[in-house]
Amino acid sequence: MKIYAIDTNLLIYAHNLDSPLHEKAKKFIEKVMNVRDENGNLSVCIPVQVIIEFISVVTSKKVPKPLSISQAQAIIQDYLNTGVMVIFPQKTYLTNFLEMLTQISSRKEIFDIALAATLKDNSISGIYTVNVKDFNLIEGLEVINPLDK
C-alpha cells in the first residue's frame, strides 16, 4: 500500500476557519483520516516536522486568530488518537538531506528538502500538499494537491 504524508498547509487550512480553503481541506483530512485498509491501517502519515510546524504557525500572532498552545496540542492529540503513523528522521536522514540539497536552487527550499529526506527515510510514496511546486523537483516523490480536484 502506498502511504502519503500530509503537509502542514493542509492541516492549517483544515483548522483555520477563516481560510478560503478551510472546507475543502477539512473534508479531505476527514476523508483520509477515516479510510483504512483491510488491516485497519491509514494510507497517510504525519511527519514530526509537520506537527512542529503546525503548532508553530497556528499559535503565531501572524495568523488572524491564533490558537493557544494547549488548543494546538489538543488538535495534534486528536490526530494521534486515530492511530495515524508519525514518522521521524532516521539514521540516514543527514546523508539523504545532503544528497537532496543538490536538487534545489534556493535556500527557501531547505525545509522542504529536510521534510523530503524524512519521507525518503521512511519509504513514503508521496505527499499531499497545496504547495506542489515546492516538492515537484524531488526525484521519486509523488506530489498531489488534493484540493485541486
Question: For 62-103, how does the pLDDT look when each residue is reduced to its tens digit (9 = 90+)?
Answer: 988 999 999 999 999 999 999 999 999 999 999 999 999 988
Residue 115 lies in a domain: no
Is residue 79 a part of any domain in this protein?
A: yes
- Say which CATH number the domain at 48 has: 3.40.50
Q: Is residue 64 part of a domain?
A: yes
Q: Where are the beta strands (DSSP E) in 13-128?
A: 44-47, 85-87, 126-128
In a domain, 118, yes or no: no
Q: How far apart are CA 73 and CA 109, in angstroms?
A: 27
Its domain, for residue 29, covers 4-88+124-148
> Which residue, among 79, 82, 81, 87, has the nearest Cα to 3 in the 3D structure?
87
Contact criterion met (CB below 8 Å) for 28 and 145: no
Residue 76, in any domain of the structure: yes
Does some domain include residue 33?
A: yes
Q: Does residue 114 form part of some domain? A: no
Q: What global pTM score does this model have?
A: 0.95
Tally of structural domains, the chain: 1
Q: Is residue 143, in this structure, part of any structural domain at all?
A: yes
- pLDDT, one tens digit for every residue, the chain (149 residues): 899 999 999 999 999 999 999 999 999 999 999 999 999 999 999 999 999 999 999 999 998 899 999 999 999 999 999 999 999 999 999 999 999 998 888 888 999 999 999 999 999 999 999 999 989 888 899 999 999 97
